[in-house]
Structure formats: structure tokens, C-alpha cells
Structure 1
Amino acid sequence: MSIYDWQARAACTADPDLFFPPGTTGQSRDDAELAAWICTHRCYVREQCLAHTLHVEAGLAIDRRHGIAGGLTPRQRLDLDPTRTAA
């Protein structure tokens, strides 16, 4: 049994491309909103996903964060990064 077994139960496994839109406007924005809704309302492992993603992305710049994870956009996850310091 792996600590990553939760990933097989993630809602994003049905359509992974939806959770990694190529841009931030138009259809990409709509896809990101739908992906965030699916995470928030339909995923049984949202909390594990968000905790894992925040751990993996800790200290990364915004341009190194991608996709919707745990129902949040890269910008929203950046705002939760405990390694960030106020300017």
C-alpha cells in the first residue's frame, strides 16, 4: 500500500486534461472553473490532493505551479504557501 493510493480515487482521473488548461482566458478559464467545481463538489480525496500539492509546490514561483488541484488555481495555492513571506 502506497501513501499515494488516494490518487486513484481522484475525480480528475476521468479527464486529466480538463484540470490542466493551456491558458487563463476564454475556454481555458471556463475549463478551470469546471475543474475547480468538480474538485470541490465531486472529489472524495480533495483534502489529500490539496495537502500533497501544497507540500510539493512549497517555495515555488507562480510560473512553476500548474493546473487545478484540490479545487484551487495556481494563484490560490500560492496564496496558501506557508513559505511565502510578505514583501
Structure 2
Amino acid sequence: MPKTPDEEHWTDHAICRGADPDLFFPIGYTAEVLQEQQRAAKAICANCPVTADCLSWALRVGEPDGIWGGTTPEERRYLRRSTEAPARRRLPVITVRGDVPEADQAASAA
């Protein structure tokens, strides 16, 4: 839904507005450089008043790249998997005859 000229959007309050996009879309080729760029972007996100809105948006649209809401693409994939995963049922405990202690085997044979 398009906003009216007087209506504010969460992006209007993001402190990353006007920042260098390369900071939020790391281009480093080594793990060390990539991690440093991610740390710098996350530091900005840590002080942002709309981090929750930003993360919510990125999760909703499936944003595959960049730092959004203080998260990396890998962290968002984990969050999506954990929230979309079906509830897990506990499997029944199955006792294999060889796993039953000898005292229990004697009692069941009697």
C-alpha cells in the first residue's frame, strides 16, 4: 500500500539512511574482512530505533543479501527456518530386547 506524502515509513527513521551501502552489503573477499564489515554495520543497527521493523521486513520479503535489522543473511535464514518449521513431536522410546537390563529381562520372562 503506497504511503501518502504526509505518512511516515519505518525507513524514514532508520539511522542507516544516507550511509554507504557497501557497509550493509559487504564486499570483502576474506572471512576476516567480511566479518569486520558485518560488525561495523551491526554496530549501526544496534543504535537504530527501527531495527525490529527492518528485520521484520527482511524476513517477510526473504531478503537474501546484506545486513538488515542487525542480522546477516545466514542469521535470517536460521530465523526463517526456525519460525517456519513445523512443530516437532517427540519420538516414542523403543526398547530393543538387547537394551533391557538383565533384571528386567528375568522379570518379563517369569
Q: What TM-score bracket applies, with the shorter chain setting the length?
A: 0.7 to 0.9
Unaligned runs of 5+ in 1: 58-63
Q: Percent identity?
A: 36
TM-score of the pair, normalised by structure 1: 0.74
In structure 2, the partner of 1:33 is 39
Q: How does 1:4-83 map to 2 (within 5 A)?
A: 5-15=9-19, 16-23=21-28, 25-40=31-46, 42-57=47-62, 65-81=64-80, 82-83=83-84
Unaligned runs of 5+ in 2: 87-110
More helix by share: 1
Per the TM alignment, residue 21 of structure 1 is displaced from its structure 2 partner at its CA by: 0.4
Question: What is the total number of aligned residue pairs between the two structures?
Answer: 78
Per the TM alignment, residue 53 of structure 1 is displaced from its structure 2 partner at its CA by: 0.5
* Structure ranking higher on relative contact order (CA contacts 8 Å, 6+ apart): 1
Q: Which runs of 4+ in 1 moved over 6 A?
A: none
Q: RMSD over aligned Cα, in angstroms?
A: 2.4
